[in-house]
Structure 1
Amino acid sequence: MSRPTISDLAKAANVGISTVDRVLNGRDPVRPQTAERVLAAAEKIGFHGVTAIKRRLENEKPRVKLGFLLKQSHRKLYRMWAEVLTKAVETYPEAHGRAIIRFDDELTPEQTADTMLSMSRECDAISVITSDHPQINQAVDGLEQEGIPVFTMISDLTARGRTGYVGNDCVKKGRTAAWFIDNLNPNPGKVAVFVGSHRYLSQELCEMGFRSYFRESAPDFQMMETLGTREEPEIAYEITQRLLKSEDNWVGLYVAGGGITGVMRALRECDTTSSNRLVVVAHELTNETRAGLADGVIKAVLSHPPVLLAETLVRAMVDALDTHRTPSVTQHLLPFEIFTAANI
């Protein structure tokens, strides 16, 4: 049986002979997706130049530097995100990637904007987790004009120039938290929401969905004023302690932002009827929230799928750097994971 020819390979890959020739000899550029299709066809029909095609693809992968501006470095959650994102960049199959991680410990708009501008001098594209503020949005719009794609991760921005968002449908997330509190409580009572900051769009939308569920489906529950933790466990601890002492009929708490470890500490220290009946729903499965589910302090955790989010974000950032693509704003809404004591 004769060996497959270039003509056979072109037919199998559904491309022209000239395209196969460019893939094999590297004289002219070929879109990565097309080259991958030629490689797959070559492997399928047993074409003798598979090794050369693989070498060509490897050599022509773009080299990209992707920057990620995360929040407080002292929080284990964001150190976890740093590890997952770094791995996603380094293992991304269609580019030679390098991850540049920065942490925003001050959480001020000025510092965030300055850090983004600084990162733009060493990164090809940037992703941020940050609050929605005019100074930050101005920085995003400025970077867009300079050709630096900026993506939002977990919490979106209103900046006109942001390139895309990767995260959850936060309204559905809030409604799901409310569903748990409604269905796990035998009797209606008072319900509270903790947010890290009122400027995080993700938390604002989670709160919106949470309140809309009770307004539409469980009106006998009484919504308390939303309280801010500034993303600090100690503040969440103090607020939780105060409410346990002052609110006799407090039955539900949705921690839509940072501070869950402070809430858990307060509940463990206050082993009373009030604390034991409180249904707590939190975000993000970590070692701490896993322990909270195990001992019953937390009833449910709604979590971003870390690996899927990181891989989706990296792919979107690399795609945004492809000069062959038409620039557009992309939105990737990923399903959130639901954890209880029964499935951790």
Structure 2
Amino acid sequence: MKKTTLTDIAREAGVGVATVDRVLNRRAPVRAETENRVVQAATRLGYRFAPEFLADSSAEGISGNGGALRIGVILLSRDYSFYDTFARSLEKQASPHCQPGTRVEFVFHDIHAVEAAAASIDEMSNRVNTLVLIALDNALVRRAVQKAAKKGVKVFTLLSDLSPCDHTGYIGLDNRKAGRTAAWIVQRLSGPPGKVGVIIGDNRFLCQETCEISFRSYLREHATGHTVLEPVTSFENVEQGYHVTTQLIQNHPDLSVIYAPCGGVEGVVNALRDSGKKDEITLICHGPLQDAQLALIDGTLDIMVSHRLEELAGSVVEAMLQANSEAHGSFISLHSSFELITKENV
């Protein structure tokens, strides 16, 4: 294999050979943007960086003073297909921006493993300069985020925001729009008013709290006559989703709608299918989810409010790059779009 030269890197990065020399051999400082361009070009060409350069770059990356990204990501259980699919998409899109010799580091936690999530934030903030996480709005988590921010780490909340804790930004749906859209579907398409069940992952998930509040608000505002029941929790878990859905159907024979802006929706779908009432109960959920196509085609699932995961991953990368190119940037809020999926456009 041909050895990558400074000339090759200069041509790829669109800079002079002297600039490449200054970056790779640390002869003189250059602008962070220029250094990023040189490092990324060298990485694409397969250049073998000196150990001293990697160590030096690592220190700069952790302090947030430019350089390529060192990324840590904390998600909920990979057993739920949504997080597994998103993790693969994010890794693919973020990897080209990672510091040489590093890769995107993932940690997966159960929704209620708050102490473990906080510990992961503490640990990862010692070796990354950018952290993306989804977690319950809990004091331990917020404290860990504040500690990470003091180290110069850019911390982003994903899908569900936290109460203010010095984090850098939020990336995810506009949950008010998502909840009101689901309520509009109920008003316009679900038939005569009846009881409406709501399934959320947890009461401390701010995204789902906003979806539920907005859903209720729309139906109340438009006086649709529906009775919205108190929400039940799936814990973002397929088995629990199945259990609470079965209970909803058994406890409320006149149930006409289920709205599930949560994880573990596969269990909700299976429970409704097994109940024999899929033709009587309108199911609206958030997705994507495993086997959604079959659920839509056989009529168990009526409409899915679906994240565009590739776009969401791209928004995460965009936010990370923006934050690490600004010394003192303002709060970054990027709303990814969603689409409504039915059996006719699946």
**TM-score, normalized by length of structure 2?**
0.80
Q: 1:294 to 1:185 in 2, by over 3 A?
A: same
Aligned twin of 1:332: 334
Distance in 2 (alpha carbons) for counterparts of 1:320 and 1:172: 26
Distance in 2 (alpha carbons) for counterparts of 1:282 and 1:57: 40
List alignment gaps of at least 5 residues for structure 1. 1-20, 37-53
Distance in 2 (alpha carbons) for counterparts of 1:205 and 1:309: 19
Letter in 2 for 1:163: T
Q: 1:56 to 1:99 in 2, by over 3 A?
A: closer
- Counterpart of 1:165 (choices 170, 180, 184) is 170
Distance in 2 (alpha carbons) for counterparts of 1:57 and 1:250: 56
Letter in 2 for 1:142: K
Tell me by how many angstroms 1:233 deviates: 2.0
- Are 2:180 and 2:215, in contact at CA under 8 Å, matched by a contact in 1? yes
Aligned twin of 2:281: 278
1:144-223 counterparts in 2 under 5 A? 144-223=149-228
List alignment gaps of at least 5 residues for structure 2. 1-13, 23-28, 44-65
Is 1:76 the counterpart of 2:81 in the alignment?
Answer: yes
- CA RMSD in angstroms, aligned pairs only: 2.5
Distance in 1 (alpha carbons) for counterparts of 2:32 and 2:121: 31
- Are 1:181 and 1:280, in contact at CA under 8 Å, matched by a contact in 2? no
**TM-score, normalized by length of structure 1?**
0.81
Aligned length: 302
Letter in 2 for 1:184: L
Is 1:32 the counterpart of 2:48 in the alignment?
Answer: no
Is 1:63 the counterpart of 2:68 in the alignment?
Answer: yes
1:224-303 counterparts in 2 under 5 A? 224-272=229-277, 275-303=278-306
Distance in 2 (alpha carbons) for counterparts of 1:265 and 1:161: 41
Between 242-251 and 253-262, the greater mean CA deviation after superposition: 242-251
Deviations 1:124-173 (A, max 9, x none): 21000111011101111111111111101111111331101111100110
Q: Could you tell me the percent identity over the aligned residues?
A: 29
Between 232-241 and 191-200, the greater mean CA deviation after superposition: 232-241
Letter in 1 for 2:312: L
Larger radius of gyration: 1
Distance in 2 (alpha carbons) for counterparts of 1:166 and 1:106: 19
Is 1:110 the counterpart of 2:93 in the alignment?
Answer: no
Counterpart secondary structure, 2:104? strand
Distance in 2 (alpha carbons) for counterparts of 1:56 and 1:283: 39
Tell me by how many angstroms 1:23 deviates: 5.3
Aligned twin of 1:10: none
- Are 1:164 and 1:330, in contact at CA under 8 Å, matched by a contact in 2? yes
Tell me by how many angstroms 1:95 deviates: 6.9
